[in-house]
Amino acid sequence: MKLASVVAVSAVLSVAPSAFAQESTVPLPPAPSTEVAPTEAEPPVVEEAIPDPLVALTEALIPPPVAEPALEKTPEERATGLRVTGSYVTRFELREGYADLGKTSGRFSESDLVFYRARLGLTTTPIDVGNGRNVTLKFEPQASGFWADTPGTLADGALNMHQATLRISGDRYWVDAGRFEMAYGEHLLIGTVGWHQTGRSFDGIRTHITLDKGWVDVFATQVLENPLDIKPFGAGDMYFNGIYTGLGPMLGEGIDFDAYLLNKIMPRSTEDTELGMQMTVGSRFKKKLGTSADVRAEAGVQFGTGPLEQLAFQGDAEVGTKLGKSRVAAAGWFASGDDPTTTKNEAWDQLYPTAHKFMGLADIAGGRSNIMGGAARVRHKLDGLELGADASFFLRPETADGVDAYTGMEIDAWALKNLGKGLGLRGGYSIFVPNETGGFGTDELAHYVEVQLAFALK
């Protein structure tokens, strides 16, 4: 009955709300008068407002919500913040003559294009989780590609995650889990490939331990995942693991000395296929000689087991000196190639380097395998301007019969202009002169031109 009464009242109110609603009977205050009021005049009578029945009924049926007290933030929540980083790069590239050299594949095809890359990094300040440990989260989404690489104008390029890392840290260590960049030394074996439109990052776990004099990194990453149902377990997957140490402070001030042991587990397709295992052992040395000269050297040996045994080696060295605002240097390198007359594989595997910075900016000579050569390098700095030029030559240790070992030479020239804090404009030109009787089999010149605009927020 009570519910029926309420419903009936609600229906009447919805049909004829004017029957209950009345204007307030509280009169407006009188306008101020210039006349003096008689002393015997009585004060005006103020009538009380009649309550609105609809409002009273609504409040009776639906009680007003009770406000909950605000929770005070903990000291950890008040201290947590975000560090923002970012970068944007766009570069015009022109490659001409690559088809004559047989280099029209993948990233280095003969073409003219403009690429872009935009990154936004968000890193939390360390969050105290107790027991002397902190947690830091890092996210770096990235959009990269080429201008007009999507069909039409009503399409956007994909947004991907370049880095996404959970870091747990203590007094003398930290552990990264997730997706992260790795770079060691001059990026000769492991690098970020920052010049590329996408760049390189790894998926896995990495631990960094600080020593009294030096440091040690231990990492385990997966670089290839085969989701197909292939037996045995893990078939088709590839892993890259290693121990990398920086022990220079043990040898003296101003010395870099790295020693590393790297492991690459090759994929196998079937249960009968033997698992491939490759080991790389090497070291890197770098030191300033006096106030103007410097020397750098790195060498390694590779050996492996599996379907084909491997035994390979490489070396890279550079000596330079400063002359006022200039630096001149001489560099040389050697990486073994496979000898087809043996049952072993002698070809050096360059692993995951930033190869672009070593053997010619035109990227025609190829990767660090079955190659040797040298370069003369000059750098000159002015106010807000840096100039550079390299002249390199290349040979192949292993060639087919009737093919010269000498492959060709390349000349690179570039200029970098600082337009402001973090903002730079770069232009470069490279020309490759092949040996007609060498591996390319032609004397047609190849050209590479680049114009790049980049900004970095740190």
- The pLDDT of residue 52 is 61
Sign of CA dihedral 365, 369, 372, 378: positive
Q: How many of the other CB atoms lie within 10 Å of CB of 119?
A: 19
- The pLDDT of residue 57 is 57
Q: What is the pLDDT confidence band of residue 251, given thresholds at 50, 70 and 90?
A: very high
- Lowest mean pLDDT of 99-108, 198-207, 367-376, name the range: 99-108
Instruction: State yes or no: pLDDT of 39 exceeds 50.
Output: no
The alpha-helical segments, DSSP class H, found in 94-215 are none
- How far is CA 394 from each of CA 87, 108, 338, 370, rounded to the nearest angstrom? 35, 18, 17, 10
**Cα distance between residue 114 and residue 147, in whole Å:** 6
- The pLDDT of residue 49 is 55
Instruction: State yes or no: pLDDT of 33 exceeds 90.
Output: no
- The pLDDT of residue 145 is 93
- Lowest mean pLDDT of 41-45, 156-160, 375-379, 438-442, name the range: 41-45
Instruction: State yes or no: pLDDT of 414 exceeds 70.
Output: yes
**pLDDT cut 90: percent of the chain above it:** 67
Helix (H, G, I), strand (E, B) or coil at 206: strand
Residue 145 is given by DSSP the state E
Q: How far apart, in Å, do the first and last CA atoms of the chain sit?
A: 72
Helix (H, G, I), strand (E, B) or coil at 377: strand
CB 374 within 8 A of CB 393: yes
- Mean pLDDT (whole number) for 247-273: 87
**Cα distance between residue 438 and residue 442, in whole Å:** 8
The token pair at 373 is: 């050569």
**Cα distance between residue 385 and residue 396, in whole Å:** 36
- Mean pLDDT (whole number) for 352-365: 93
**Cα distance between residue 85 and residue 259, in whole Å:** 32
Contacts 24+ apart (CB under 8 A), 177-182: 177/204, 177/205, 178/203, 179/203, 180/138, 180/206, 182/206, 182/219, 182/221
- Mean pLDDT (whole number) for 233-249: 90
CB 369 within 8 A of CB 353: no
- The pLDDT of residue 27 is 45
Instruction: State yes or no: pLDDT of 400 exceeds 60.
Output: yes
**Nearest to 21, CA basis, from 49, 62, 46:** 49
Q: Helix axis angle, 2-15 relative to 53-61, nearest 10°?
A: 140
Residue 7 host element (H or E): helix 2-15
**Cα distance between residue 334 and residue 295, in whole Å:** 17
- Mean pLDDT (whole number) for 240-253: 96
The token pair at 273 is: 């296929």
Q: Residue 228: is it exposed, middle or buried by C-beta count within 10 angstroms (0-12/13-18/19+)? A: exposed
- The pLDDT of residue 428 is 98
**Cα distance between residue 270 and residue 438, in whole Å:** 40
- Mean pLDDT (whole number) for 28-53: 50
**Nearest to 169, CA basis, from 202, 125, 200:** 125
CB 417 within 8 A of CB 384: yes
The alpha-helical segments, DSSP class H, found in 246-313 are 248-251
Mean pLDDT score of the chain: 86
CB 307 within 8 A of CB 273: yes
123-150 residue pLDDT tens: 999 999 999 999 999 999 999 999 998 8
The token pair at 7 is: 């419903």
Q: Tell me which residue has tokens 């807000």.
A: 384
CB 431 within 8 A of CB 414: no
Q: How many of the other CB atoms lie within 10 Å of CB of 266?
A: 18
Instruction: State yes or no: pLDDT of 58 exceeds 70.
Output: no
- The pLDDT of residue 202 is 98
Reported residue count of the chain is 458
Q: What is the pLDDT confidence band of residue 63, given thresholds at 50, 70 and 90?
A: low
CB 446 within 8 A of CB 431: yes
The token pair at 49 is: 């407002």
The alpha-helical segments, DSSP class H, found in 140-274 are 248-251
**pLDDT cut 70: percent of the chain above it:** 79
- The pLDDT of residue 45 is 53
**Nearest to 90, CA basis, from 141, 162, 144:** 144
Q: Which amino acid is at 451?
A: V
